[in-house]
Amino acid sequence: MQYNLFLFEGAGSNPAGVVFLFLFLPMDPLPLFLLIAFLLAIAWPRLYSKTRDDARVRAALQALLTVTTPSCSLWPSRYTKLVKQASVSPDNRVMLPLHTFVQDVLDGVVEVRDPLNNLVDLIRATGINANGWNIYLSVGLRSWVNALEFSLTHKLDRVLGG
């Protein structure tokens, strides 16, 4: 196999002011073409999926913004993590943990845009459909335990006459 040697000269940052670049190319361009095609085939889906994932994250954040808004100019990191997780799912569903959402509203971290309508829709099993995304409140184990504790305490107070 024969190789061509190309020598390029130009000004550079080395003390001599000349940069030498040696490029060995095979006479037959097929192996080089196959190498470049292989590298592009590997890199292209990763580059494309990154931009697609970013677009899905932005779309999910936009949908979440129709229901709630951060009190400051940036979303809290827990909400961006939730949206990134939701952007991977195929069903366009954002699940807000009930306990976290209620605590953040009480602490003033986020605000509900239309509390009278949005809270009722969030509590229902249907959730809110915004821009093709479904936003739900997820009731975790912690919320179930707190509700059970409240219910038992309330019933116990009524039985004991307290």
**Does residue 158 fall inside a structural domain?**
no
**Does residue 161 fall inside a structural domain?**
no
**Does residue 124 fall inside a structural domain?**
yes
Q: What's the predicted TM-score (pTM) here?
A: 0.57
**Does residue 14 fall inside a structural domain?**
no
Query: Over the stretch 117-136, which tens digit does the pLDDT of each residue have?
Result: 888 888 777 788 888 899 98
Half-sphere exposure of 68 (CA within 13 A, CB side): 27
Q: What is the DSSP letter of 162?
A: -
Give the distance, in angstroms, between the CA of residue 98 and the centroid of all CA atoms in the same chain: 19
**Does residue 113 fall inside a structural domain?**
yes
pLDDT for position 106:
92
**Does residue 87 fall inside a structural domain?**
yes
Q: What is the DSSP letter of 113?
A: S
**Does residue 22 fall inside a structural domain?**
no
- The total number of structural domains in the chain stands at 1
The secondary element (H helix, E strand) that includes residue 8 is strand 3-10
What's the whole-number mean pLDDT along residues 99-115?
Answer: 90
Start-to-end CA span in the chain (Å): 96
On the question of pLDDT at 115 being above 70, the answer is yes
On the question of pLDDT at 68 being above 50, the answer is yes
Domain residues for the domain of 98 are 42-150
**Does residue 18 fall inside a structural domain?**
no
What's the whole-number mean pLDDT along residues 75-79?
Answer: 90
